[in-house]
Amino acid sequence: MKVSQRSHVPAFAVMEVLAAANARRAAGESVLNLCAGEPSSGAAEPVRERAVEILRSGDLGYTEALGAPGLREAIAGHYRRWHDVDVSPGRVAVTTGSSGGFLLAFIAAFDVGDRVVLARPGYPAYRNILTALGCDVVELDCGPATRYQPTVDQLDALQAQAPVAGLVVASPANPTGTMIEAAELEALSRWCAAHGVRLVSDEIYHGITYGGPAVATAATHLDDGAIVVNSFSKYWAMTGWRLGWLVLPDDLVGAVDALASNVALCPPALAQHAAIAAFTEEAYDAAAANVATYATSRALLLERAGDLGWDPIAPADGAFYLYGDVSRFLSAGPGDGRPADSVAYCERLLADTGVALTPGTDFDGVRGGSWVRLSFAAAPATVAEAVDRVVAWQRGLADGS
């Protein structure tokens, strides 16, 4: 029987690494899992308590396709609290994770053949979802010179070749952790508005920053047609609850509502009703404490950067990733016994030490073969032990043992 061409996209390699790590753990072996972008703390107590209450006595029937009104109002209140901007609850669409949000946003905003621009390295699901939808994905080579983020000059060059329909940006970004400064985001937003290009802003790591807060696209450019994607998974540590949201421009609210009612009917009702408690003071405090823990792990990693020997390392301004070049530990030729690329590096590292990292090939199909991503969303003690294991293992590679 036929298998669709649109389904021929790569699997998300981090999930394959995670499966291998889980299999090792199930066999009773020691595993330090730093491959997935998953906070180890889990949801805050008010969210858990509310979920228990709902399970015992609450209504778990369908909600509206765009989400329960109480949760949409709470999300709008979050924008007032954090960004001092009024977002109408009518523009908020609750989704089945940010993944479901991207799918709805991309279907609503782009047609088959539309040219959509992404930064490389970047989150692979952008590319793979857009490809499955028949869009023409253009990856911008974004290295240290542009802090791994796209620029207006790059967009001008692309637009001169053929019309651009969309631009997807992420700040803080996965896997690099870099952020787009306010002036740069303003320039990108204005360029998109001037050229009729739909800006999609991935803001799922907002709140997880080290130094200054991330700039919210919703604060200034929602009326220019921008789409904001966010999630409860990262800042609120609610990965398995599968709950995210979109903040939509007026022209896409009806389209997303219609699509959502057909694709999923509504996001999980239990997660929606419980997530309202994520906007309580206790839950905000718990999330802030998590970020402080990530900051401790980040400081440890930067302090041990010389021992790790990954060079260069992308600036980890936000999120909870260290993205580094491991070229010096890869094979220089046949017979030297070293891993051939970052995929082999991660496979051997897991087999030899129990440390699970993600190969850069997931995020960059051109240069990712020499890069790896480490998630420091785990406890600082776990991160410290993982670094010790990696350093000792790499020393063995250098010695040829």
Residue 199's pLDDT is 97
Residue 11's pLDDT is 79
Is the predicted pLDDT of residue 134 greater than 90, yes or no?
yes
CB 86 within 8 A of CB 333: no
Mean pLDDT score, 361-370: 95
Is the predicted pLDDT of residue 400 greater than 70, yes or no?
no
User: What average pLDDT is seen over the chain?
Assistant: 93
Residue 212's pLDDT is 77
Is the predicted pLDDT of residue 353 greater than 80, yes or no?
yes
pLDDT tens readout for residues 374-394: 999 999 999 999 999 999 999
Is the predicted pLDDT of residue 398 greater than 80, yes or no?
no
- What are phi and psi for residue 201, nearest 5 degrees? -110, 115
Residue 220's pLDDT is 65
Residue 324's pLDDT is 97
Is the predicted pLDDT of residue 26 greater than 70, yes or no?
yes
User: Higher confidence at residue 9 or residue 355?
Assistant: 355
Segments in 91-202 forming alpha helices (H): 97-109, 124-132, 152-161, 182-195
Domains delineated in the chain: 5-42+284-399 (3.90.1150.10), 46-280 (3.40.640.10)
Share of the chain above pLDDT 70, in %: 99
Is the predicted pLDDT of residue 216 greater than 80, yes or no?
no
Residue 36's pLDDT is 85
Segments in 110-249 forming alpha helices (H): 124-132, 152-161, 182-195
Is the predicted pLDDT of residue 401 greater than 70, yes or no?
no
- If residue 136 lies in a helix (H) or strand (E), which one and from where to where? strand 136-141
CB 256 within 8 A of CB 105: yes
- Residues in Cβ contact with 292 at an 8 Å cutoff, skipping those fewer than 6 apart: none
- Residues in Cβ contact with 284 at an 8 Å cutoff, skipping those fewer than 6 apart: none
pLDDT tens readout for residues 260-279: 999 999 999 999 999 999 99
Mean pLDDT score, 216-222: 70
Rounded Cα–Cα distance for residues 200 and 204 (Å): 12
CB 379 within 8 A of CB 41: no
Residue 19's pLDDT is 86
Mean pLDDT score, 88-117: 97
Rounded Cα–Cα distance for residues 110 and 92 (Å): 19
Rounded Cα–Cα distance for residues 77 and 400 (Å): 58
Residue 242's pLDDT is 97
Mean pLDDT score, 138-156: 95
